[in-house]
């Protein structure tokens, strides 16, 4: 069976994702589509709109055969570390290809950019360090570094291109036997918050619309019915969707009661940002107002969101330094084909395949995952808080048979 990997967040799943899955299956002739997915917190430091289980169901309903979890220590990270964890998991479970979305859909630009970067690694590293020392953000420093080599072979101001570039680099640096491919994205820029296409819109714009209208029908044109139904069920069960504002009281409590020394132990707290956090938190009444007050040229919104996620989950520099590579493959869900595939690779997979989270107790990556789940569940009043925690610890991988999938 040929397995092909995708790297996803599905926050929430929408028609663009559906298009990517269909194209991927068709172009690669995959027998088994494997998605590595962020858990409760996402790459840009945000809580996922609904739980990993609900999002795994959306993925399965749309044709994914196996959903595995990207551990927190890789999920809530800048592109390089995120890519490093994700491609290793896909390779470990036996994917022969990785297929990501990009603006152009031309893999050659990614290969050429990665080649230049890796060949000139020292120069790039040194240029970026100089930029950072001058107070630039990482993306800004990287963009200036590219200018020294003439323009980059691809537009690295586009978040999807940055990720694709990181995937290719990570595959090569880890010498993985997995071929990178790319498929052009349909319409809608990643950050677009307005609708311009009749059926395609970015996850960002969908979350915004949902937040503003509170009505699922307002996004129905852009989301497959099965995913919409998951959103509906989730809100019915838990009473709400997740966003940063839900967690702001916890963040405020934690920032006010942690000492500056405590904060300096947290991953991402560098260069005295702990003073700014402490300085602005007492007066801030919303997460958005807080981040706006703390934001600097160097500390971008995304970087601050990630840092705040680490404050909430108590994810330390020490833990980040130790999280070199994934240590397990956690299954969140599978189809009939997925189950056949897993049976086939169970023995040969490069990392242990784990269905029951209880088997992971004590594994440091999973202990971090449990803490992230504890934060995530704190969005709910009891008894839902306890119920959501139990879901993290005790849910068996979701199985969707062919008939259920239709």
H/E segment holding residue 331: strand 329-335
Q: Which is nearer to its own copies, 157 or 361 (CB)?
A: 361
Task: Report the alpha-carbon distance of residue 128 to residue 132 in Å, rounded.
Answer: 6
Eight-class DSSP state of 60? H
- Tell me the window of 31-39, 170-178, 249-257, 294-302 that interacts with its own copies (CB under 8 A): 249-257
Answer yes or no whether residue 361 interacts with its own copies by CB under 8 A. no
Phi-psi region of 392 (alpha: psi -120 to 50; beta: other; left: phi over 0): alpha
First to last CA, the chain: 22
> Percentages helix, strand, coil for the chain, rounded to the nearest 5?
55, 10, 35
Q: Give DSSP secondary structure letters for 178-212.
A: -EEEEEEPPSS-TT--S--SSS---HHHHHHHHHH
Residue selected from 187, 216, 250, 353 as contacting its own copies according to rule CB under 8 A:
250
- Tell me the window of 24-32, 118-126, 171-179, 380-388 that interacts with its own copies (CB under 8 A): 380-388
Cis peptide before 383 (omega within 30 of 0): yes
> In the bound complex, what is the minimum distance in angstroms from residue 386's beta carbon to its own copies?
5
> In the bound complex, what is the minimum distance in angstroms from residue 261's beta carbon to its own copies?
10
> In the bound complex, what is the minimum distance in angstroms from residue 375's beta carbon to its own copies?
6
Torsion of CA 228, 13, 190, 132, to 10 degrees: 130
Task: Report the alpha-carbon distance of residue 375 to residue 72 in Å, rounded.
Answer: 12
> In the bound complex, what is the minimum distance in angstroms from residue 204's beta carbon to its own copies?
25
Per-residue contact flags (x/-) with its own copies for residues 267 to 286, judged by CB under 8 A: ---------------xxxxx
315 carries a ligand binding annotation: no
> Which spans in 258-300 are helix H?
260-264, 273-281, 287-294
Residue selected from 196, 218, 233, 386 as contacting its own copies according to rule CB under 8 A:
386
Residue selected from 296, 297, 359, 393 as contacting its own copies according to rule CB under 8 A:
393
397 carries a ligand binding annotation: no
> In the bound complex, what is the minimum distance in angstroms from residue 357's beta carbon to its own copies?
13
Residue selected from 264, 276, 317, 371 as contacting its own copies according to rule CB under 8 A:
371
294 carries a ligand binding annotation: no
- Specify the 3-state DSSP secondary structure of 318: helix
Q: Which is nearer to its own copies, 22 or 237 (CB)?
A: 237
Touching its own copies, residues 202-221 (CB under 8 A): none
Answer yes or no whether residue 362 interacts with its own copies by CB under 8 A. no
Q: Which residues of 15-37 are buried (b: 16+ CB within 10 A; e: fewer)?
A: bbbbbbbebbbeebebebbbbbb
Determine how β-strand 329-335 pairs with β-strand 179-184: unpaired
124 carries a ligand binding annotation: no
13 carries a ligand binding annotation: yes
Question: Bridge partners of 100?
Answer: 182
Which residues carry a binding-site annotation?
7-20, 101, 160, 185
Which residues carry a binding-site annotation for ATP?
7-20, 101, 160, 185
Q: Which residues bind its own copies (CB under 8 A)?
A: 248-250, 252-254, 256-259, 262, 282-286, 312-314, 367, 370-371, 374-375, 378, 381-383, 385-386, 389-390, 393
């Amino acid at each position: 069976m040929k397995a092909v990997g995708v790297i996803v967040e599905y926050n929430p799943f929408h028609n663009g994702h559906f298009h990517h899955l269909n194209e991927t299956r068709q172009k690669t002739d995959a027998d088994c589509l494997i998605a590595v997915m962020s858990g409760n917190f996402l790459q840009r430091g945000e809580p996922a709109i609904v739980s990993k289980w609900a999002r795994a169901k959306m993925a399965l309903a749309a044709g994914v055969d196996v959903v595995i979890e990207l551990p927190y220590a890789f999920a809530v990270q800048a592109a390089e570390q995120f890519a490093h964890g994700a491609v290793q998991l896909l390779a470990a479970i036996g994917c022969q290809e990785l297929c990501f979305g990009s603006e152009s859909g031309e893999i050659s630009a990614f290969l050429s950019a990665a080649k230049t970067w890796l060949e000139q690694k020292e120069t790039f590293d040194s240029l970026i360090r100089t930029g950072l020392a001058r107070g630039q953000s990482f993306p800004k420093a990287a963009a200036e570094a590219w200018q020294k080599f003439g323009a980059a072979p691809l537009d690295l101001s586009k978040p999807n291109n940055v990720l694709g570039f990181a995937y290719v680099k990570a595959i090569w640096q880890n010498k993985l036997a997995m071929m990178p491919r790319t498929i052009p994205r349909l319409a809608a820029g990643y950050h677009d918050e307005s609708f311009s296409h009749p059926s395609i819109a970015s996850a960002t714009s969908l979350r915004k619309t949902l937040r503003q209208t509170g009505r699922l029908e307002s996004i129905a044109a852009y989301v497959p019915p099965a995913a919409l139904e998951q959103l509906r069920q989730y809100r019915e069960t838990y009473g709400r969707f997740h966003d940063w504002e839900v967690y702001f009281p916890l963040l405020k409590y934690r920032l006010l009661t942690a000492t500056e020394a405590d904060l300096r132990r947290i991953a991402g707290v560098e260069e005295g940002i702990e003073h700014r956090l402490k300085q602005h938190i007492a007066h801030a009444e919303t997460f958005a107002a807080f981040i706006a007050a703390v934001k600097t040229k160097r500390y971008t919104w995304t970087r601050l969101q990630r840092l705040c996620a680490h404050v909430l989950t108590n994810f330390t520099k020490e833990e980040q330094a130790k999280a070199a590579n994934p240590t397990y493959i956690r299954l969140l869900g599978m189809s009939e084909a997925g189950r056949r595939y897993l049976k086939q690779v169970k023995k040969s997979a490069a990392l242990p395949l784990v269905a029951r989270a209880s088997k992971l107790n004590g594994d440091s990556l999973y202990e971090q995952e449990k803490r992230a789940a504890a934060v995530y569940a704190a969005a709910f009043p009891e008894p839902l808080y306890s119920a959501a925690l139990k879901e993290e610890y005790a849910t068996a991988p979701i199985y969707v048979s062919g008939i259920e999938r239709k």
